[in-house]
Amino acid sequence: MTTAIYPGTFDPITNGHLDLIERAGDLFDEIVVAVADRPEKNPLFSLVERVEMARQVLSPFPKVRVEPFTGLLVEFARAQGAKVILRGLRAVSDFEYEFQLAAMNRRLSGNGLETIFMMPGEAYTFLSSSLVKEVARLGGPIEGFVPPPVVEKLRERFG
């Protein structure tokens, strides 16, 4: 069984994330969506809220499990029995940082952890959680960018 870890802050989870997860489901036996506790990023939603939102919107995906994590990703991956980290690349500007992370994770794991990069579907190449939060904060339309339960949570947060 091949398990892939899809790490991120998912603050909040977007339709771009869902697109990547759905397509990765054809490649892997199990996908663990690893919701990172990253207080230095000043997330809008708490770790518990982000995990709950992800579990709610990913419940129709039988191959997907959502778990919170802290600490080193390589340690989390080892505990999950994963050999693959799944990452999305929206633009060339993402590549340099992601390349460095992939190399560090491989080194820290003793070469037992590979990173696979996937491009988002064309409809989501511009989409990021940060942009969605900004549009929501300014009262703009966010339907189509995030699943309906996330629309509700963002509307509640920004009133």
90 is catalytic: yes
Among the options 55, 83, 90, 157, which is catalytic?
Answer: 90
Q: Tell me, yes or no, if 137 is annotated catalytic.
A: no
41 counts as catalytic:
yes
The Cα–Cα gap between 78 and 149 comes to 32
The catalytic position among 23, 38, 41, 137 is 41
Of the candidates 50, 109, 129, 133, the residue annotated as catalytic is 129
3-state secondary structure 42-69: CCCCCHHHHHHHHHHHHCCCCCEEEEEE
- The alpha carbons of the chain give a radius of gyration, in whole angstroms, of 15
107 counts as catalytic = no
**Exactly one of 17, 87, 133, 153 is catalytic; which is it?**
17
Catalytic (active-site) positions? 17, 41, 90, 129
